[in-house]
Structure 1
Amino acid sequence: MAKISAQICRLAACAGLFAATLSAAPAAAQGELKPVNGFDGKTIRLGLIQPLTGPAAVLGQPVVAGARTWFDYINKEKGGIAGKYKVELVVEDHMNQQAPTVQAYNKIKNDVVMVAQLFGTHTTLAVLPQVNDDKMLVGAGGYDYVFFKERQLLAVGAPYQIMAVNALAELWNNQGYKDKTVCALIRDDPYGAAGLEGVEFASKKLGFKVAAVVRFSMADQDFSGQMAQLKAAGCQLVYVTTIPPQFVRMVGNAVRVNFAPLWLGQFPTWSGVLVDNPAYDYMAKNLMIASEGPEWGDMSVPGMARMVELQKKYAPEAKPDFFFTIGYKSAQAATAVLEAAVKAGDLSQQGLAKAYEGIGAMSFGGLTGDHVYGSPDQRRPPLTSSLFKVNKAKPYGLEAVRTNFTSDLAAQYVDAHK
């Protein structure tokens, strides 16, 4: 199958590319597609497995809104995938927990063509053995670098490791944090481990020692012990891997012991709802976020301009949110795979796998860096990421310090982990 370069940043051009590709398809592919699990000959059903209840719901609900927005556009303005097959989303709640993830996956796996987005690093890893056995294509909502090398995972976005090394390099080299005492506050699971891996790689390349690595669990509610350890170690910059409800509690414990380092948060640490939290002033002074892409609403970025246009049209109730962007990007990537599979006349698991490996280079119009897909050994994640500071005057409460930049460390990390 010929490779298809999906340039999502220019939707009109992208639609034209897909249309031209389909028009050139073999006669067999132009006819009616054979029904498979999740496809009855008319409608393509896709899974979304997200935290819709519990502490992480503030992150999972915007993911669903972003994915719905993209597929509303595809269904209503493009006539569906390949201008013909409408998309229906099957949404399940996994509460950001491993066992419910496995249950949700088993509930829908025979009723969907693919899982367009599965939220979480630890949750994705929990179900990965079954995903591999089933040959199911799954949009990986976790940002661990290893997901780019898993055959059945469709990873979108710069990995946590890349975000960490770029942000630390920027702070160390350009933002006045060279020779500061660096520490890490790490959730004791694969999500935390991915961030810590980036911190430790940066420490070796930039020549600093991680003075303290302090851990916590997802169930922890009190962090007074962790704050005491970090303060005793003299930490001036702390890389933290958590989610908003826990970070608020961390801040409360930090304030009580008069501990105010620069917190560098892995991006799920932040949510726009925190601008109304009583701890906002502390966060505005002491928190930066390692993330990717532009500020919400930066209309100079083609992908952002188009996403905001579609959000206003199809999800006007949705607030600016990075996790909306995640759902939207994941839906775009799934669309590229589905279009290629329809072109080849095969929506089976084998057909989707072949389509995925044939995509090649893919751009998201500045919402994330350029991706290279293909077979696992050919895939390459984006090397760019962004650094933000807290500012409630900005949509989503984040102001860009520097966007879509890279460092020598990012390429070195990927080269070291091929």
Structure 2
Amino acid sequence: MSISLKAIGLAIGAVALTQLPAAAQTKVTNEGIAANEIVIGTHQDLSGPIKNWGVPVANGMKMAVEEINAAGGVNGRKLKLIVEDNGYDPKKGVLASQKLIERDKIFAMIGSMGSAPTLAAQDILFDAGVLQLFPLTAAEFTFKFDPAKPQERLKFNNLLPYVESTRAALKYMMDWKGFKKPCIMHQDDEYGKNVLDGFTQQLEAMKVQPASITSYKRGASDFSAQVAKMKSDGCDLVVLGTIIRETIGAMGEAKKLGWDVTFLGATPTNVLEVPALGKDAVEGLYAASGFEIPYEDTAKGKVKDWLVNYKKMFGTDANTQAIIGYNAIETFAFYTQKAGKDLTGQKMLDALESGDKFLDIFSSPPTKFSKTDHLANTITQVQQVQKGRWVLVKDNLMF
């Protein structure tokens, strides 16, 4: 009797031991991996208010997939990219994610567009064990994870984070120009809140009071009330937690009022469309940035070839967004290669956390992750619109 009880005790102990690590283990899907193919998905704004972001990002991703597949794929497997439209709407982001997971059986979600659609769909991915890689939002929820929640290990980001980049650029501008009354106008969502956090944290560190804080609803097109308030509050520097249309709208409104004030945009303002569409209204705008924007007439080598090939493929000039989309797929392919021929979800996670560095062709800072840090880097630049082009003003900033 005592022997059997002892055996039962040992068996129960063994079961308990096997279950303990499992409770802390990250579940990673092996769906989407076939002998000759890897299925990956993305949801972009192809029809909504930031389609000037979504369309070129999707194009850049398609270009990278085409190049990788033409060269034989990754360890002999071709990439199959499925693109869905989220219209910059959280509900559509959720529906797109459900479709990509349940019907298309994707291995990883890459470069999903926008803070609100990405956040709304995040838990659906984690429940299914699907990696959330390099979303097109630098909000903190895309890389900060709680070690006590193993599924949160599935998120990685290679974009410059809004909080850190806003802090670095704001500190540089305040020190350089001696501004005394900084203000902010930000989008009323997860993205805008991150820019606001960077703004308020940096001012607290510098013991400076904000002169004005104002926001607008996502999708708004009239900023007259916000600009009038900031002008009457005597702002001498306006930080913009805006995207393309809102950046042009706010600066155009200031010009109308004859208000000569310095504007500093968060990283999403640092795109070719802002000077191309805003013209004189945005001349002089400063912005936080992650890498220099290449222009075809001054680019050299691989970057020049890339710009020419993009134009051939899509009939339009490449931009920042296309580069980000292209790099998202190239980064995925780099770590998939590292994961080896016998690809599994767990091996992909291990490869991402290995500390191996990915270097792109655009001279961006290296991409590198670890078991405890799922953000690629925080090195910030400041650029300025001068005569219709983005020009580098300051490099290698850290807050």
Q: Which residues of 2 match residues 259-408 of structure 1 at below 5 A? A: 259-277=259-277, 279-285=278-284, 287-297=285-295, 305-313=301-309, 315-316=311-312, 317-343=315-341, 345-347=342-344, 349-364=345-360, 367-375=363-371, 377-392=372-387, 397-403=389-395, 405-407=396-398
Offset at residue 74 of structure 1 (A): 1.3
Larger relative contact order (CA 8 Å, sep ≥ 6): 1
- 2:93 corresponds in structure 1 to 101
Q: List per-residue Cα deviations over 1:134-162 (Å, max 9, x = no partner).
A: 11112222112342224212211221122
Structure 2: which amino acid aligns with 1:106? Q
Offset at residue 388 of structure 1 (A): 1.3
Give distance in 2, aligned partners of 1:313 and 1:353: 32
Give distance in 2, aligned partners of 1:47 and 1:308: 28
Structure 2: which amino acid aligns with 1:38? G
TM-score (structure 2 length as normaliser): 0.82
Offset at residue 267 of structure 1 (A): 2.4
Contact 1:157 1:369 (C-alpha < 8 Å) held by counterparts: no
Give distance in 1, aligned partners of 2:362 and 2:276: 29
TM-score (structure 1 length as normaliser): 0.79
Offset at residue 307 of structure 1 (A): 4.0
Q: Specify the structure having the higher radius of gyration (Cα).
A: 2
Offset at residue 181 of structure 1 (A): 1.3
Contact 2:294 2:303 (C-alpha < 8 Å) held by counterparts: no
- 1:66 corresponds in structure 2 to 60
Contact 1:158 1:369 (C-alpha < 8 Å) held by counterparts: no
Q: List per-residue Cα deviations over 1:294-329 (Å, max 9, x = no partner).
A: 23149999xx85344234235523413111111122
Q: SS of 1:228's equivalent?
A: helix
Offset at residue 380 of structure 1 (A): 4.8
Give distance in 2, aligned partners of 1:126 and 1:98: 6
Contact 1:237 1:263 (C-alpha < 8 Å) held by counterparts: yes
- 1:246 corresponds in structure 2 to 246
Q: Which moved more, 1:351-360 or 1:142-151?
A: 351-360
Offset at residue 217 of structure 1 (A): 0.8
Structure 2: which amino acid aligns with 1:157? L
Q: Say if 2:145 is the partner of 1:143.
A: no
Structure 2: 5+ residue stretches without partners: 1-28, 146-152
Offset at residue 337 of structure 1 (A): 2.6
Structure 1: 5+ residue stretches without partners: 1-34, 410-418
Q: SS of 2:41's equivalent?
A: strand
- 1:125 corresponds in structure 2 to 119
Q: List per-residue Cα deviations over 1:84-125 (Å, max 9, x = no partner).
A: 111121111101110100011111114221112111122211
- Percent of aligned positions that are identical: 22
Q: List per-residue Cα deviations over 1:12-49 (Å, max 9, x = no partner).
A: xxxxxxxxxxxxxxxxxxxxxxx953233212121121
- Count how many residue pairs are aligned between Structure 1 and Structure 2: 359
Give distance in 2, aligned partners of 1:164 and 1:235: 18
Structure 2: which amino acid aligns with 1:323? Q
Give distance in 1, aligned partners of 2:235 and 2:390: 24
- 1:414 corresponds in structure 2 to none
Q: Which moved more, 1:141-150 or 1:309-318?
A: 309-318
RMSD between superposed Cα atoms in Å: 2.5
- 1:3 corresponds in structure 2 to none
- 1:216 corresponds in structure 2 to 216
Q: List per-residue Cα deviations over 1:51-75 (Å, max 9, x = no partner).
A: 1112201111111122222222211
